[in-house]
Amino acid sequence: MIVVMEPKATRDQVNAIATKIQDAGLSSHISAGVERTIIGVVGDSHTKELLRQSLEASPGVERVVLILQPFKLVGRDFKPENSIVDVEGVRFGDGSVVVIAGPCSVESREQILKTARAVKASGAAMLRGGAFKPRTSPYTFQGLEEEGLRLLAEARAETGLPVVAEAMDAAQLMLVVKYADMVQIGARNMQNYTLLREAGRMRLPVLLKRGPASTIQELLLAAEYVVSEGNYNVVLCERGIRGFDNYTRYMLDLSAVPVLRQLTHLPVIIDPSHAAGKWKYVPPLSRAAVAVGADGLIIEVHPEPDKALSDGPQQLTLENFAALMAELTPLAAALGRRVQSPALRG
Interface ranges with ligand PEP (CB under 6 A): 104, 130, 134, 186-188, 209, 239, 271, 274
Q: Which is nearer to ligand PEP, 76 or 188 (CB)?
A: 188
Q: Which does 36 bind (CB under 5 to 8 A by kind): ligand PEP, Mn ion, none?
A: none
Q: How far is the CB of 274 from Mn ion (least distance, A)?
A: 6
Residue 276 interacts with Mn ion (CB under 5 A)? Answer: no
Q: Which is nearer to ligand PEP, 100 or 324 (CB)?
A: 100
187 burial level (CB within 10 Å; 0-12, 13-18, 19+): buried
Q: Which is nearer to ligand PEP, 134 or 313 (CB)?
A: 134
Q: DSSP assignment, residue 206?
A: E
Q: Could you tell me which residues come within 8 angstroms of residue 256 by beta carbon, excluding any fewer than 6 positions away? A: 210, 216, 238, 268
Q: Which does 209 bind (CB under 5 to 8 A by kind): Mn ion, ligand PEP, none?
A: ligand PEP
Which of 77, 166, 238, 311 is close enough to bind Mn ion by CB under 5 A? 311
With CB under 5 A as the rule, give the number of residues binding Mn ion. Answer: 2
Contacts (CB under 5 A) with Mn ion, residues 104-163 = 104
Helix axes 146-159, 109-122, angle to 10 degrees: 40
- CA distances from residue 228 to 15, 60, 237 in whole angstroms, order as listed: 19, 25, 19
Q: Which is nearer to ligand PEP, 186 or 303 (CB)?
A: 186
Q: How far is the CB of 337 from ligand PEP (least distance, A)?
A: 24
Which residues lie across from 264 on neighbouring strands? 75
Q: Which does 52 bind (CB under 5 to 8 A by kind): ligand PEP, Mn ion, none?
A: none
Give the helix, strand, coil percentages of the chain, each rounded to 5: 40, 20, 40
Cα 90 to chain centroid distance, Å, stands at 12
Q: Segment near Mn ion (CB under 5 A), from 15-23, 114-122, 210-218, 308-316?
A: 308-316
Contacts (CB under 5 A) with Mn ion, residues 54-113 = 104
- CA distances from residue 220 to 173, 189, 210, 235 in whole angstroms, order as listed: 21, 14, 9, 11
Q: How far is the CB of 298 from ligand PEP (least distance, A)?
A: 7
Q: How far is the CB of 275 from ligand PEP (least distance, A)?
A: 9
Residue least distant from Mn ion (Cβ): 104
Q: Could you tell me which residues come within 8 angstroms of residue 124 by beta carbon, excluding any fewer than 6 positions away? A: 99, 100, 101, 102, 161, 299, 321, 325, 342
DSSP string, 265-320: SS-EEE-HHHHHSSGGGHHHHHHHHHHHT-SEEEEEB-S-GGG-SS-GGGPBPHHH
Residue least distant from ligand PEP (Cβ): 186
In whole angstroms, give the CA distance from residue 18 to residue 27.
8
Q: How far is the CB of 188 from ligand PEP (least distance, A)?
A: 6
Q: Is 110 helix (H, G, I), strand (E, B) or coil?
A: helix
Q: How far is the CB of 271 from Mn ion (least distance, A)?
A: 9
Q: Which is nearer to ligand PEP, 109 or 188 (CB)?
A: 188
329 burial level (CB within 10 Å; 0-12, 13-18, 19+): middle
Q: How far is the CB of 15 from Mn ion (least distance, A)?
A: 46
Q: How far is the CB of 2 from ligand PEP (least distance, A)?
A: 32
Q: Which does 39 bind (CB under 5 to 8 A by kind): ligand PEP, Mn ion, none?
A: none
Q: Which residues bind Mn ion (CB under 5 A)?
A: 104, 311
